[in-house]
Chain A
Amino acid sequence: MRSIVIVSAFILAGCQTVFVPAYSEDIHSQLASASEDLQRIQVTLRDTQHHEAADLEPTFVDTLTHLGQASAASNARAQSGGTVFARRSGTIIAANVTRCEVAVRGALQASREGSLDSGAFERLFVFETCNFPKMEEQLLQR
């Protein structure tokens, strides 16, 4: 019995990723949905000369909902078990999700103030900042 336990523990340890956390389908799908929202905002800004802040508001709110869920899940994962390296790399993803949220809130603020156009959206790097955590979660798929 004891040897079965030891062998099982050995196999489980071997299957574990040591330097990165385990991939999460939930985190990935929340980040992918947020990215689709941001693409919609980008297209709206590109295709319309002038927009009302209210036109973009629901999409911004939806983006922030997805990011809030991704943030909670990625923070919980970074604080759970695994090696010190897996927790550190998990913390990087969680911090990049937070920076994405901050960038989206910045764009929303600019939209409410009437200064968000296609160029400003680009210069605020919203899409690119949000692409990092999505790309990182994808890299965890092994």
Chain B
Amino acid sequence: MPQPPDLTTFKPNSSNELFQGILGQVIGILGADWAKAEAELKADLHLLAQRAFQTQSLLAGGKISVTEADRELHFQEVFLNSALAHFEFMAYVTAQNVLDGVFGVIRAAIKNWTGIELNF
């Protein structure tokens, strides 16, 4: 699997070498962003299970009223809505990171060959 290139020295001799550099960069970004988004959602679901179970136990034990339990479940749902919206948000962040990453590699290749830093 291609590795992310060292941008200070990356100097591809062919379009295929440039492609391998881009691929290495993109795979690194996608892997890291996906792992982060997945871990975050898993942690959110874990917390939700713990607290929903507490609500259930407190209601069963008569420690909280039906109204209170209802409110707690409602806001647990609000939390999960936000967590899922955040998951979608991360897709846009990842797309932006890929865009920046790919042109970071191309910019570095041009700079290492020509000494010219393009401002794109």
Contact = CB atoms under 8 A, between A and B. Distances in A.
B96 A96 contact: no
What secondary structure prevails in chain A residues at the interface with B?
A: helix
Given A19-B96, A20-B92, A115-B68, A123 B85 contact: no
B92 A106 contact: no
Interface stretch (B14-22, B70-78, B108-116): B70-78
Q: B47, B78, B79, B86 — which one has the most chain A CB atoms within 10 A of its CB?
A: B79
A123 B59 CA distance: 13
A9 interface: no
A29 B98 CA distance: 27
A128 B93 contact: no
Interface residues of A, number: 37
Nearest to B43: A128
Q: B78, B89, B99 — which one has the most chain A CB atoms within 10 A of its CB?
A: B89
B40 to A, nearest CB: 9
Contacts of B82: 96, 99-100, 129, 132
Interface in B45-94: 47-48, 51, 54-55, 64-65, 68, 71-72, 74-76, 78-79, 81-83, 85-86, 88-89, 92-93
Nearest to A88: B92
Interface residues of B, number: 31
Interface stretch (A34-42, A51-59, A68-76, A134-142): A134-142
B68 A19 contact: no
Nearest to A92: B89
A17 B68 CA distance: 44
Contacts of A106: 71, 74-75, 78
Given A86-B92, A142-B96, 7 more contacts: A19-B92, A20-B93, A96-B85, A103-B78, A123-B75, A125-B47, A142-B100
11 contacts: A11-B119, A18-B95, A20-B93, A92-B85, A92-B92, A96-B85, A106-B71, A110-B68, A119-B54, A128-B44, A136-B86
Interface of B: 44, 47-48, 51, 54-55, 64-65, 68, 71-72, 74-76, 78-79, 81-83, 85-86, 88-89, 92-93, 95-96, 99-100, 119-120
